């Protein structure tokens, strides 16, 4: 019975890094930031732009977002943290939790302008993680 309680305690102690890895931001399709992409596709993938304005008769928008990780990468990281927690009796959290805090995606910012058909005609990467 003591052994079962000990294992349960280890499972409860582990989890911060596991949870953080699983909750990292999702990967976005940055390949959409190219000439010819319809505005509607950008809105569907990235949501509303941070800035939307008309400059010299052209619609200009700025998209800001955090580029995250694929589902497979997030799951793999979570499994790794879980196994490491069990093997180290929870001590892995000292390393795993700060690591997940650092590797939480990269902030990207793109400025796009559109032609008369609301298709991208210019892309400028303002911040590339």
Question: Domains of the chain: which residue ranges?
Answer: 2-127
Output the six-digit token pair for 23: 């909750």
Model confidence pLDDT, tens digit, residues 9-30? 555 555 587 766 666 767 899 9
Q: How far apart are CA 38 and CA 121, in angstroms?
A: 10
The pLDDT assigned to 99 comes to 72
The pTM assigned to this predicted structure is: 0.68
Output the six-digit token pair for 99: 């690591």
Helices and strands, number each (H, E), in the chain: 5, 4
Q: In what order do the strands lie in the sheet with 120-127?
A: 51-55, 58-67, 106-114, 120-127
């Amino acid at each position: 019975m003591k052994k079962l309680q000990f294992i349960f305690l280890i499972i409860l102690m582990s989890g911060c890094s596991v949870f953080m890895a699983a909750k990292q931001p999702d990967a976005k399709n940055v390949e959409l930031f190219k000439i010819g992409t319809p505005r509607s596709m950008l809105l569907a993938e990235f949501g509303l732009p941070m800035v939307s304005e008309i400059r010299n008769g052209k619609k200009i928008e700025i998209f800001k977002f955090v580029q995250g990780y694929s589902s497979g990468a997030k799951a793999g990281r979570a499994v790794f943290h879980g196994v490491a927690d069990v093997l180290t009796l929870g001590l892995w959290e000292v390393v795993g939790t700060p690591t997940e805090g650092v590797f939480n995606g990269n902030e990207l910012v793109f400025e796009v302008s559109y032609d008369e058909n609301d298709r991208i005609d210019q892309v400028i990467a303002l911040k590339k993680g």
